[in-house]
Structure 1
Amino acid sequence: MVHDMPASGQADDVIRIHDLKKNYGHLEVLKGIDLTVKRAQAAFVIGPSGSGKSTLLRCVNSLESYEGGQLWVEDYLVGAERRGNRFVEAHPKTTARRRGSIGMVFQRFNLFPNMTALENVTAGLRMVLKMNRDEAFERGKLLLERVGLANRADAFPAQLSGGQQQRVAIARAIAANPSLVLFDEPTSALDPELVGEVLAVMRDLIRDGMTMMVVTHEITFAEEVGDMLYFIDHGRVAEAGVPSDVIRNSKHPRTTEFLSRIRQ
């Protein structure tokens, strides 16, 4: 994939997506996504299963390639690097380095089962950033305290509840001071009584000005703390706006249908 299109947008854009297309073989998953996330914004993405929400996040984080359009994060075109006046496919080392500036929280926690909570939080600091072990552990302890788990530093994932595991995963995602954190349905694998503790941590991050993009079914939470809400249907943004406007005064019939169904 070679690009020769210039960058455009505002200085405070962290994510800038124009006409993004992604296919799996003959299956079109993303059919022309347009979306912007500004610095210190919490952008929420909702939509039915199979609409392309998680694929969109994976493209932002270079876990998936894309076939068309533009996807900018900060000042770089995802998947490409500049050579003179053109863009060519990015070297894998370039992609890996860029991915280090983006935190990712997965639906299923993705913790290392043979590492303690503290070791999980600091794994990237020690193995990728080559931070001194003692320095990494000091930072890790502060991060665990931030997510309310200072007393579980030595616990292994199997000894933690789902909510605690996800809070460890959030601490790991913010360990390297990323400019952006992506959340892929962070509460969907949790028992209902554990959802609140994860949302409380996310609420604190939003209050602190963390830029984030969140795929979720937690509509009330999105309305409460979100700056922007994007409803994706069949690989396109069907509706976008301030969360309360989209949720309470949706203009697209598919948005209305989706919201009424998940509230039942």
Structure 2
Amino acid sequence: MSDIVKIKGLEKSYGTHPVLKGIDLTVEQGQAAFVIGPSGSGKSTLLRCVNRLETYQEGELWVEDYIVGAERRSDRWIEASERVNAARRARIGMVFQRFNLFPNMTALDNVTSGLRLVGGSSRRQVHERGMELLDRVGLSDKAYAYPAQLSGGQQQRVAIARAIAMNPTLVLFDEPTSALDPELVGEVLAVIRDLAKEGITMMIVTHEIRFAEEVGDVLFFIDQGCVAEAGEPRQIIRHSQNPRTAEFMARVRQ
């Protein structure tokens, strides 16, 4: 398998406050990579660096064949233009905690908004693609509903359909169930489980430990801005020899 994400020595600070302190990790093509750890450990910041919603100060962050935030000119890398960053960001799907749907658009329009902006497809093709994606997340009957008419779980499923509409190389999930009522969590996890079965490369920040154990190919435990442990999810969750990891797992699995 080829590496989709490769990070070495990544550092990120807000002013004088360090958040990421030398992150090293690799995500291979087709993997469902879970990122877990205590609140404030840098998990969401890490995801936002991957698609250039945040900048970083030190280290290397590769997605496929490019360094995030840089572009190749002749034999050297220079700072990437916003046009280049935006084009790359379009190849990475992102699902946020709070759905981030356009409130004045229907579910179908939210899903197809990126497709319409890129162009190259007829209105009929865009419509068919949007309906296909909504059907894929079990919401074809809600195509013309507005976000305010949908439950939190339904809104998040629309957000997932939008994230995969452009056939991205990578999909990032930033705690996709944290804003949901407990009874709605399962319907969102079911969609993510299906994407994992399809071999879509994903990085998933979550507190759903049992789900990470069931679905994940690799798990990264981040603590105080560093990868404290990485490996097979079940091994880390149930049999970690790292005292800090074991303490965290014992607490969250209660």
Match of 1:100 in 2: 90
Match of 1:258 in 2: 248
Alignment map for 1:1-264 (pairs within 5 Å):
12-129=2-119, 131-264=121-254
Q: Secondary structure of the equivalent of 1:48?
A: coil
| Distance (Å, rounded) in 2 between the aligned partners of 1:190 and 1:163 | 6
Q: Secondary structure of the equivalent of 1:213?
A: strand
| Distance (Å, rounded) in 2 between the aligned partners of 1:86 and 1:232 | 32
Q: Secondary structure of the equivalent of 2:54?
A: coil
Show CA shifts across 1:2-58 (max 9, x none).
Answer: xxxxxxxxx600000000001110010000000100000000000011100000000
Partner amino acid, structure 1, of 2:187: E
| Distance (Å, rounded) in 2 between the aligned partners of 1:33 and 1:129 | 37
Show CA shifts across 1:57-79 (max 9, x none).
Answer: 00001101110000000100000
Shift of 1:132: 3.0
Shift of 1:130: 5.7
Gaps of 5+ in 2: none
TM-score w.r.t. length of structure 2: 0.98
Pair 1:68–1:162, CA change in 2 (3 A): same
Show CA shifts across 1:108-145 (max 9, x none).
Answer: 00000010000000011112446433221110000000
Partner amino acid, structure 1, of 2:18: E
| Distance (Å, rounded) in 2 between the aligned partners of 1:137 and 1:210 | 23
Shift of 1:253: 1.3
When the two chains are superposed, the root-mean-square deviation of aligned CA atoms in Å is 1.0
Q: Secondary structure of the equivalent of 1:51?
A: coil
TM-score w.r.t. length of structure 1: 0.94
Q: Secondary structure of the equivalent of 2:105?
A: coil
Gaps of 5+ in 1: 1-10
Q: Secondary structure of the equivalent of 2:171?
A: strand
Show CA shifts across 1:209-262 (max 9, x none).
Answer: 100000000000100010000000000000010000100111211111111222
Q: How many residues align?
A: 254
Partner amino acid, structure 2, of 1:239: E
